[in-house]
């Protein structure tokens, strides 16, 4: 069963996640590491726990979630994997990152893209792909059924939802995907979002003012 560790990164307070299991293989999801301090925290955790990074995943490709893509590639030789529909989103980061005050080292491009549905595996862990656009055009969430955890990116937050005013965003699409796909998960499923504290599916069904 997978364990999860979160790291708070960059001025947008983005959550970077490391998933790992007894095999010692691990997956890095949404590397937002920006400063040397943030990079070192992640590298130190991996080293101290004897982990072997085998996959780099992006839920989506907004700047705060991909700032560390190049670093992870340089450090571990991993190219990112995401849905092909996020390619334009990633390509645009080079142009807009400087205007937001970011020094951005361009992310490598995937060798292979992720589909809308199906599974990906590492170690003894299987992750189900859940396609949930609305915040961005081809956003994916990653669900570990055995551990009953969802790495949800910027789709669903504790008592909030992802913003839909960025290119490729659509409010109705986002709400539909949350209600039809995420709310189909068990109520006690823990959601680890791209920003803010974790929550559960059941808690959001009951209390989220947007849904």
Handedness of CA 96, 138, 147, 202 (dihedral sign): positive
All structural domains of the chain, each given as residue ranges with its CATH number in brackets, are: 3-207 (3.60.15.10)
Per-residue pLDDT for 199 more than 90? Answer: yes
Task: Give the residue-averaged pLDDT of 161-169.
Answer: 95
The predicted-structure confidence for 62-99, as pLDDT tens digits, reads as follows: 999 999 999 999 999 999 999 999 999 999 999 999 99
CB 73 within 8 A of CB 46: no
Per-residue pLDDT for 49 more than 90? Answer: yes
Nearest partner of 135 among 180, 96, 110, 172, judged by Cα: 172
The predicted-structure confidence for 96-133, as pLDDT tens digits, reads as follows: 999 999 999 999 999 999 999 999 999 999 999 999 99
User: Which residue in this structure is represented by tokens 């092909």?
Assistant: 84
CA 2 to chain centre: 16
Average pLDDT of the chain to the nearest whole number: 97
């Amino acid at each position: 069963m997978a364990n999860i560790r979160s790291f708070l990164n960059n001025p947008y307070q983005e959550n970077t996640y490391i998933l790992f299991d007894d095999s010692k293989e691990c997956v890095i999801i949404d590397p937002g590491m920006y400063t040397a301090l943030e990079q070192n925290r992640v590298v130190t955790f991996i080293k101290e726990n004897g982990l072997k990074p085998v996959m780099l995943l992006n839920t989506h490709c907004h700047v705060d979630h991909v700032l560390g893509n190049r670093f992870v590639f340089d450090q571990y030789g991993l190219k990112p994997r995401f849905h092909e529909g996020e390619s334009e989103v990633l390509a645009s980061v080079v142009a807009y990152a400087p205007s937001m005050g970011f020094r951005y080292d361009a992310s490598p491009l995937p060798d292979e893209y992720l589909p809308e549905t199906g599974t990906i595996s590492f170690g003894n862990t299987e992750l189900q792909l859940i396609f949930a656009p609305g915040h961005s055009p081809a956003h994916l969430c990653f669900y570990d059924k055995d551990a009953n955890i969802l790495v949800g990116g910027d789709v669903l937050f504790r008592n909030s939802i992802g913003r839909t005013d960025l290119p490729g965003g659509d409010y109705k699409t986002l709400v539909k995907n949350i209600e039809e796909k995420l709310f189909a998960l068990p109520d006690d499923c823990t959601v680890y979002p791209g920003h803010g504290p974790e929550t559960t599916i059941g808690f959001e069904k009951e209390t989220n003012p947007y849904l």
